[in-house]
Amino acid sequence: MDAILEGLKLVAATDVLIALLVSAVYGLIIGAIPGLTATMATALLVPITFYLSPLAAITTIVTASAMAIFSGDIPGCLLRIPGTPASAAYTDEAYALTKKGQAELALGASLWFSALGGIFGTIALMIIAPVLADFALSFSTFEYFWLSFLGLMCATLVARSSPVKAVASALIGLLIACIGMENPGGTPRFTFGVTDLLGGVDVIPALVGVFAVSEVMRAMAGPPAAKIGHKSLGSILAGQLELTKKYWRQMTRGNVVGTLVGVLPGAGADMAAWVCYAISKRFSKTPEKFGTGYPEGLVESGAANNAALAGAWVPALIFGIPGDTITAIAIGVLYMKGLNPGPTLFTEKASSMYAIYVIFMLANILMIPLGIIMIRITTKVLNAPQSAVMPLILLCCAVGAFAVGNNLFAVVIVAAFGIIGYVMEANGFPVAAMVLGIIMGSMVEQSLVTSLIKSDGGIMPFFDRPISAVLAVMAITALLWPLFFWLIKRVRQATARATA
Amino acid sequence: MQFSDRINGGFLVVLGVLAAYGGSLLPPVPGQPVGPNIFPIVIGVGLTICGLLIAFGIGHNFEAEEKIEPTADGSAVATRSMWWIIVPPLLLLFYVFAVEWLGFVLTSAIIAFITSMSLRGTLKIAIAMAIASPLVVHLVFAKLLRVPLPAGLLPLPW
């Protein structure tokens, strides 16, 4: 009880409340601009979190990401361009509603079910995390190896591209993580004599390059952004209670599945939305209405992506393994602020944990009033020309990366990763998998090498412990599923030919 | 910037072989079966396998079809020459080499102006961005967060 009160006291600090409000507005605006994602909003925040208190730093990330995931629905609904990838699953549905003249219903549903989903995800985080933390105390390097491997594999499943390319992306990320002196031997590895590379490739400039600079590059090559005329909207929340009553089953299912997908290491809000939209359609009584402006799928997947956001913090806080790209960034901030992720976080820093839960709640509650204001002024934000937004983004990339270590080499890294990110994306290699590879590289290597030393170079001990064996099976299944899928298809084709 | 899968796969094979070879050259930790060499070798082998699979087009049918994003009025707008994409990285390199000498305000004003103009901005917007964005970024990073941004030729009066 003392810890809870202590946590509340931490949240009531002025700097935390200011951080909450400012990052909420920031997240809403970034999310609403097509092309600027929630991950990018978070990546650009990191340099700023350096200068904040630990809780204020976490607050900015939690709040900005939650707001950005919601407000990504706005351009999807009005322009049929998802503001963030997490909205892509149901963009067509929301736009169809807008075309039927029910834009306020679609926007209201996005807002209302996003907030409810976020609150559900937070409660799940509060319940699951401590239980799992108890369990995780008995984990050894073998389990950690498989868990981080599973995280990487899940990241490759999320990508809707060739699984081979996704695995290759993750491997490229791991290879990048090899650069530097931080390896079991302490010898410079792949530094090619460049002193600046001895410390390895910094994650933050790499993230900023991949997620922000490549976006500016895409804007350069792409067609001019779509414009939206002035739209007047009716009451936003009218009819939402009715929808909640009518679709409470779908909403609950979306919340539960969304949270579970979020908890899965490597899979985040994007995947949750796609999975839940598909589930909703599969179990609907009227699947033929999907895609024609029907709120059922919108309710389920809109609730799911915000629930996933909180769920993703479970593996991040307990194992230091990111649940998605946003928590991947957040983990770096946790380390920086002395809140090292791990099962003991829940006993040693209990008050900080409660404070984080409270922040999650506050952010999701604040989403409703601020979201309504955002929807009202949205036409202005959406009409901001790229030529006015992108210069500011590019400057923030340069200065933000520099600010991390007061080192100009970081800006070179940003430029390099802008190009890498752009080329990879253009060729169908999912960049999120690479980013997770970079972030988890040292963890995967450390757990692999320590385990190999313990086992004297043997492979069998990796499968000996029961939990380790279960995780191994899950990870290997995730790696090989495309092969199963392909085999099943071949067998079916063969039997079809045989019967014909 | 789109290459055929042959080239993508070939590149990965070369990268994988180099990584594995480079890894194998690293000195082991004395008295241990494994050291800093094992991880790059494993990655290198993995990349080589992935590269071969990609070059032979395996897994290609999982890729989502290229979608052409519709514009608001439904008309298709031609995309521009690919050379434009090199502008942002070049501007960042310009920042690295010029900021110490020109100072933050001038360097960032130039970057903002060029970015804005290359994104089909009007002269009015570009000039406004060139004046406003250095001031905003300076205010946030140098004043509030105390990041030492070089003053150079044009220091701000505050």
pLDDT digits (tens, 9 = 90+) for A49-80: 888 899 999 999 999 998 988 888 888 888 77
- Taking the C-alpha atoms of residue A448 and residue A187, their distance in angstroms, rounded to an integer, is 18
Chain B closest CA to A22's CA: distance in Å? Answer: 13
Chain A residues touching residue B41 (CB < 8 angstroms): none
Q: Is A21 on the interface with B (CB under 8 A)?
A: no
Predicted local distance difference test score (pLDDT) of residue B73: 47
Predicted local distance difference test score (pLDDT) of residue B74: 44
Chain A closest CA to B27's CA: distance in Å? Answer: 8
Across chain A, mean pLDDT equals: 85
Instruction: Measure Cα distances from A422 to A46, A53, A184, A366, A430 in Å.
Output: 22, 34, 32, 35, 10
Chain A residues touching residue B134 (CB < 8 angstroms): 395
Partner-chain residue, chosen from A80, A398, A419, that has the shortest CB–CB distance to B70? A80
Note whether A391 contacts B70, CB cutoff 8 Å.
no
Measuring CA to CA, which residue among A310, A314, A312 is closest to residue A346? A314
Chain B residues touching residue A171 (CB < 8 angstroms): 16, 43, 46-47, 50
Size of interface A-B (CB pairs under 8 A): 243
Predicted ipTM of the assembly: 0.90
Chain A residues touching residue B55 (CB < 8 angstroms): none
Instruction: Measure Cα distances from B102 to A255, B109, B143, B149, B151 in Å.
Output: 53, 11, 19, 11, 8
SS (H, E, C) A132-197: HHHHHCCCCHHHHHHHHHHHHHHHHHHCCCCHHHHHHHHHHHHHHHHCECCCCCCCCECCCCCHHH
Measuring CA to CA, which residue among A222, A203, A219 is closest to residue A414? A203
A442 pLDDT more than 80: yes
Contact A388, B112 (CB under 8 A): no
Predicted local distance difference test score (pLDDT) of residue B64: 56
Percent of chain A with pLDDT over 90: 20
- Taking the C-alpha atoms of residue A259 and residue A124, their distance in angstroms, rounded to an integer, is 7
Predicted local distance difference test score (pLDDT) of residue B67: 47
Measuring CA to CA, which residue among A330, A110, A321, A351 is closest to residue A233? A110
Predicted local distance difference test score (pLDDT) of residue A232: 67
Chain B closest CA to A143's CA: distance in Å? Answer: 18
Note whether A395 contacts B133, CB cutoff 8 Å.
yes
SS (H, E, C) A19-85: HHHHHHHHHHHHHHCCCCCHHHHHHHHHHHHCCCCHHHHHHHHHHHHHHHHHHCHHHHHHHCCCCCH
For A389, phi and psi rounded to 5 degrees? -85, -45
* Dihedral (Cα; A272, A273, A279, A284), 10-degree rounding: 150
Strands (E), B20-105: none
pLDDT digits (tens, 9 = 90+) for A238-251: 788 888 888 888 89
Dmax over CA atoms of chain A, in Å, equals 74
b/e sequence B26-36, b meaning 16+ C-beta within 10 Å: beebeeeebbb
- Taking the C-alpha atoms of residue A239 and residue A295, their distance in angstroms, rounded to an integer, is 12
pLDDT digits (tens, 9 = 90+) for A444-471: 898 898 898 888 888 888 998 888 999 8
Q: How much is the average pLDDT of A221-230?
A: 70
Chain A closest CA to B137's CA: distance in Å? Answer: 7
Q: What ranges do the domains of chain A cover?
A: 2-223+237-488
Residue type, position A489, single letter: K
Measuring CA to CA, which residue among B70, B89, B116 is closest to residue A34? B70
Chain B closest CA to A43's CA: distance in Å? Answer: 15
Q: Is A481 on the interface with B (CB under 8 A)?
A: no
From B7, which residue of chain A is nearest by alpha-carbon distance?
Answer: A427
Q: How much is the average pLDDT of B55-69?
A: 65
Tokens at residue A331, please? 């983990």
From B88, which residue of chain A is nearest by alpha-carbon distance?
Answer: A217
Partner-chain residue, chosen from A186, A394, A400, that has the shortest CB–CB distance to B91? A394
pLDDT digits (tens, 9 = 90+) for A349-402: 888 888 999 999 999 999 999 999 988 887 777 777 888 888 988 998 898 888
Q: Is A238 on the interface with B (CB under 8 A)?
A: no
Note whether B137 contacts A81, CB cutoff 8 Å.
no
- Taking the C-alpha atoms of residue A344 and residue A130, their distance in angstroms, rounded to an integer, is 10
Tokens at residue A302, please? 């809109």
Angle at A239 (CA atoms; ends A236, A242), nearest 5 degrees:
145
Residue type, position A388, single letter: A
DSSP A313-350: HHHHHHHS--SSHHHHHHHHHHHHTT---STTHHHHTH
Chain A residues touching residue B121 (CB < 8 angstroms): 385-388
Instruction: Measure Cα distances from A116 to A5, A129, A411, A433 in Å.
Output: 25, 20, 40, 29
pLDDT digits (tens, 9 = 90+) for B80-110: 778 889 999 999 999 999 999 999 999 999 9
pLDDT digits (tens, 9 = 90+) for A86-112: 777 788 888 888 888 888 888 888 899
* Chain B contacts in chain A segment 426-445 (CB below 8 A): 426-429, 444-445
Predicted local distance difference test score (pLDDT) of residue A488: 86
* Chain A contacts in chain B segment 50-89 (CB below 8 A): 50-51, 53-54, 58-60, 62-64, 69-72, 77-82, 84-85, 87-89
Q: Is the dihedral of CA A8, A10, A16, A20 positive or negative?
A: negative
Predicted local distance difference test score (pLDDT) of residue B158: 58
Chain A closest CA to B90's CA: distance in Å? Answer: 8
Bridge partners of A180, per DSSP, are: A189
